[in-house]
Amino acid sequence: MKFVRKARIALGGIAAASALALAAATPAHATYEAGLQAYVNGQYQQALDLWRRFAVAGDVRSMKILGDVYSGMTLETSQSAATPIEEIPVDNVQALLWYTLAAYHDFSAYQLPTAEEVNAQILGERRLTEIRFRMSSGDVAKAEKFIAQTFESGSAYDIYRLGEMYQKGAGVDKNNTKALQMYSLAKERGVGEASAAYEFLEPLMNSKEVKTALANAEKWQPPLPIEHTGKTRQQEELERLKRELEEIKLAEALKAVSDIDVELVQRALNALGFRAGGVDNKLGPSTRAAIRRFQYSTVAKNTSMSEDEKQAVVTGVLTPRQIVDLFNDAAKANHPMSQYVYGIMHVRGIGVEQDGVKAVSWLDKAADQDLAIAHYALGVVYRDGTTGLNEVSPDERKSALHLAQASALGYSPANDALRRLSFEYTRDNQ
């Protein structure tokens, strides 16, 4: 299986929102175009760095195009009518962050915006619903956290604007308590609009909400600037190297996946309801049809893929990565044989990294459903111990217990293993 490294952009790289107020001092068109030119030239990381720098300096066009890039949109440029984004992975958290900053960028305190800047703001706002729809609630919350931190790191007026966003539920979840907290902080810093907003909102809230808002305002500290919270270039390089090593190890582990019997694949497909038919250890028409149904299910809800791209995944032949995903899904669906297989994969490093604790966890789940071979596998694991991550140390008592359970359930190889364990234990204690 071919692996292509795609470097992710650290989520922590969001500069203080006070920089958003510097639009008047920055030649927005020239800076935005410089990033666009770098992108057209294939210098993707340089383009991202330029757009990010200009975005936090108040260039709403750069904010909007960062949202486009991270959402996986095709960029339209004067030099290339359809420049595909292939080197930059989709990151919906970043996309929502930048679209929100573009949509709620405030022009009133600065120079009169151009038509292109206003258009970028409108387009950014239109994209918000679509991006939120494709995200999990956890990812939306993560993006909103970054949005709040960005505005809280800024000027008193930025804090007031965040209060408005909380009050209206615009860009962040509606929360009157947080809105009143932001208004309180902003009015203490001399923002007249915040005083009026505070006087309007307070009577609409109960005494507990007001008390909480004021207590939070009293304890509030501005978020640390990026130089204290962001990653250094050395840290980013170490993380990049670590990812490369992990991908190399995973590629080696996936090579062994092809040795897994078709019978086990058929059982996993049937357990998930993909109807592979009888378990005959043959890759016949029914099994291939079941594989196609499974393959389509893995991409069916991917809104970033066209229907043609989804159909291209449906080949009827599982890739090593898909085999791993199949057993993972079936194991999570509480299918005991798949739990056993997935546990053994973690013991041996087949398709996944060797991990003794994960191996024991999955084998335990299968053994709890009286799968004899899972008890046998646990007996061997506790007899020999494991290597790799989270090593499991030998434990003769646990080994004997599981081997005895396997024997009682009729798994004959456990009898010989149990006699061998008893012999070695007796010999070691003579």
- For 219, other C-beta atoms within 10 Å of its C-beta total 8
Rounded average pLDDT over 138-158 = 83
pLDDT computed for residue 106 by the predictor = 75
Rounded average pLDDT over 417-430 = 61
Distance (Å, rounded) from C-alpha 99 to C-alpha 105? 10
Confidence band of 87 (pLDDT split at 50, 70, 90) = low
pLDDT computed for residue 78 by the predictor = 44
How confident is the model over 227-256, as pLDDT tens digits? 444 555 566 666 666 666 556 555 665 566
User: Same domain, yes or no, for 273 and 410?
Assistant: yes
User: Same domain, yes or no, for 271 and 410?
Assistant: yes
How confident is the model over 409-419, as pLDDT tens digits? 998 888 888 88
Q: Tokens 């130089």 correspond to what residue? A: 227
Confidence band of 154 (pLDDT split at 50, 70, 90) = confident
Query: Are the C-beta atoms of residues 35 and 50 closer than 8 Å to each other?
Result: yes
| HEC sequence for the chain | CCCCCCCCCCCCCCCCHHHHHHHHHCCHHHHHHHHHHHHHCCCHHHHHHHHHHHHHCCCHHHHHHHHHHHHCCCECCCCCCCECCCCCCCCHHHHHHHHHHHHCCCCCCCCCCCHHHHHHHHHHHHHHHHHHHHCCHHHHHHHHHHHHHHHHCCCHHHHHHHHHHHHHCCCCCCCHHHHHHHHHHHHHCCCHHHHHHHHHHHHHCCHHHHHHHHHHHHHCCCCCCHHHHCCCHHHHHHHHHHHHHHHHHHHHHHHHHHHCCHHHHHHHHHHCCCCCCCCCCCCCHHHHHHHHHHHHHHHCCCCCCCHHHHHHHCCCCCCHHHHHHHHHHHHHCCCHHHHHHHHHHHHHCCCCCCEHHHHHHHHHHHHCCCCHHHHHHHHHHHHHCCCCECCCCCCHHHHHHHHHHHHHCCCCHHHHHHHHHHHHHHHHCC
pLDDT computed for residue 24 by the predictor = 36
User: Same domain, yes or no, for 148 and 166?
Assistant: no
pLDDT at 312 over 60: yes
pLDDT computed for residue 270 by the predictor = 92
Rounded average pLDDT over 311-318 = 86
The domain of 178 spans: 155-230
Token readout for 330 is: 């079936």
- For 324, other C-beta atoms within 10 Å of its C-beta total 21
User: Same domain, yes or no, for 160 and 148?
Assistant: no
Q: Tokens 């989520």 correspond to what residue? A: 11
The more confident residue out of 132 and 183 is 183
Q: Establish how many alpha carbons lie within 13 A of residue 178's alpha carbon, considering only the half-sphere containing its beta carbon.
A: 19
User: Same domain, yes or no, for 148 and 204?
Assistant: no
pLDDT at 1 over 90: no
pLDDT at 211 over 90: yes
Q: Fill in the amino acid letter for 16.
A: A
pLDDT at 226 over 60: no
Cα distances (Å, whole numbers) of residue 98 to 55, 62, 78, 103, 115: 9, 9, 23, 9, 19
pLDDT at 368 over 50: yes
User: Same domain, yes or no, for 22 and 139?
Assistant: yes
- For 203, other C-beta atoms within 10 Å of its C-beta total 7
User: Same domain, yes or no, for 175 and 94?
Assistant: no
Rounded average pLDDT over 261-271 = 91
Q: Which of 153, 180, 200 is the last residue of a domain?
A: 153
Rounded average pLDDT over 258-266 = 83
Rounded average pLDDT over 77-83 = 41
Q: Determine, yes or no, domain membership for 237.
A: no
User: Same domain, yes or no, for 147 and 176?
Assistant: no
Q: Determine, yes or no, domain membership for 277.
A: yes
Q: Determine, yes or no, domain membership for 379.
A: yes
User: Same domain, yes or no, for 149 and 173?
Assistant: no
Q: Which of 97, 118, 153 is the last residue of a domain?
A: 153
Number of domains in the chain: 3
Q: Fill in the amino acid letter for 8.
A: R
Q: Determine, yes or no, domain membership for 235.
A: no
pLDDT computed for residue 343 by the predictor = 92
- Residue 322, C-beta contacts closer than 8 angstroms, at least 6 positions apart: 294, 295, 298
User: Same domain, yes or no, for 311 and 410?
Assistant: yes
pLDDT computed for residue 5 by the predictor = 28
pLDDT at 200 over 50: yes
Q: Determine, yes or no, domain membership for 181.
A: yes
User: Same domain, yes or no, for 146 and 167?
Assistant: no
Q: Tokens 């750069």 correspond to what residue? A: 62
Q: Which of 153, 182, 198 is the last residue of a domain?
A: 153
Q: Determine, yes or no, domain membership for 236.
A: no
Nearest to 155 by CA among 23, 9, 11, 10: 23
pLDDT computed for residue 228 by the predictor = 47
User: Same domain, yes or no, for 261 and 400?
Assistant: yes
Token readout for 138 is: 């956890």
Q: What angle do the packed helices 320-332 and 336-348 form, to 10 degrees? A: 130
* CATH code for the domain of 364: 1.25.40.10
Percent with pLDDT over 70 in the chain: 78
Q: Determine, yes or no, domain membership for 399.
A: yes
- Residue 161, C-beta contacts closer than 8 angstroms, at least 6 positions apart: 104, 106, 151
How confident is the model over 13-42, as pLDDT tens digits? 333 233 333 333 344 444 688 888 888 887
The more confident residue out of 165 and 5 is 165
Q: Is the dihedral of CA 384, 386, 392, 393 positive or negative?
A: positive
Q: Determine, yes or no, domain membership for 126.
A: yes
Q: Fill in the amino acid letter for 290.
A: A
How confident is the model over 113-147, as pLDDT tens digits? 788 888 988 998 898 888 888 888 888 888 888 88
This prediction's pTM? 0.46
Query: Are the C-beta atoms of residues 268 and 338 closer than 8 Å to each other?
Result: yes
